[in-house]
Amino acid sequence: MVYKNIVNLLKKRINSPLYNIGDLLPSEKELAELYSVSRNTLRKALKELENEGLVERRHGSGTVLRNKHFQASLTHLDSFTEIARNEGKIPTSQILKFELQAASEEIAKGLHLQCGEPVYYAKRLRFINNIAMQLEETWLSAARFPDLTIAHMKKSKFSYIEKECGVKIEGCYESMLPILPSAELAALLHISTQDPIIKMHTQAIDEQQNPIDYSILYTNMFEFQVKYYIPRKAALSPLTERAAQ
């Protein structure tokens, strides 16, 4: 539906640094011309944003920004759960699949295992305040984490690793690229197959530089935005030195 695309474009606009809460958005006429849609389509999109509590339409004044969807600034590595809670939001997870698998060549390489070794695979949809933000696929060595359960994955994976298993997470390698979602992904994240998302490969490591998990994240960037602060002259950690070599 065209208006759904306009909803996402407007979310991207109002969630950008260009706008602060309380700012007035451009007029309906200006927005309709900007996105090449009719005034009726534009009004339908604004109505949805109003229902979500993001804007307020004031007769005679225009459309005012009331809220922004999830945004956070990070200065160190936090889990999805920690990011949400630090912002006063409620994180939840829906487990779509949890099973024991034989490690494929890709997963074995990511976890420094032999092909065919047993790994736990979890596929979960992550929510913040009941809004679908991210789909995560993650693999962990069954030999290293033999008591991993669905209950653990419904909560915080990092909390289980550090608090229950006593493994310190030293850092995380991340690589990302924009992609267009599949029909399944689009349905889960409530977006169009024409709306770009961020695909991220991550590999958390322990103090001995051994991989802890291997994950692929698919993030709805219209709803979930994280800004990273990386100091220029921080002392080099073993992780930084290894990445620089």
pLDDT in tens, 17-57: 677 778 899 999 999 999 999 999 999 999 988 888 888 98
Number of structural domains the chain divides into: 2
Examine the domain organization and report whether 128 and 236 are in the same domain: yes
Examine the domain organization and report whether 18 and 107 are in the same domain: no
Examine the domain organization and report whether 55 and 170 are in the same domain: no
Examine the domain organization and report whether 228 and 173 are in the same domain: yes
Give the Cα separation of 39 and 56 in Å (integer): 17
Residues ≥6 apart with Cβ < 8 Å to 202: 172, 173, 174, 213, 214, 215, 216, 217
Pairing of strands 225-228, 71-74: parallel
Examine the domain organization and report whether 37 and 117 are in the same domain: no
CATH assignment of the domain containing 222: 3.40.1410.10
pLDDT in tens, 108-141: 999 999 999 999 999 999 998 888 999 999 999 9
**Is the pLDDT score of 91 beyond 70?**
yes
Examine the domain organization and report whether 199 and 146 are in the same domain: yes
Give the Cα separation of 201 and 215 in Å (integer): 6
Examine the domain organization and report whether 88 and 136 are in the same domain: yes
Residue 73: per-residue pLDDT: 61
Banded model confidence at residue 11, pLDDT cuts 50, 70, 90: confident
Residues ≥6 apart with Cβ < 8 Å to 221: 12, 196, 197, 198
| Mean model confidence pLDDT for the chain | 87
Examine the domain organization and report whether 113 and 186 are in the same domain: yes
Residue-number span of the structural domain to which 133 is assigned: 71-244
CATH assignment of the domain containing 55: 1.10.10.10
Give the Cα separation of 235 and 170 in Å (integer): 14
Banded model confidence at residue 245, pLDDT cuts 50, 70, 90: very low
Give the Cα separation of 212 and 140 in Å (integer): 7
Examine the domain organization and report whether 119 and 237 are in the same domain: yes
Mean pLDDT of the 196-215 span: 95
Residue 233: per-residue pLDDT: 67
Examine the domain organization and report whether 180 and 132 are in the same domain: yes
Examine the domain organization and report whether 35 and 147 are in the same domain: no
Examine the domain organization and report whether 78 and 60 are in the same domain: no
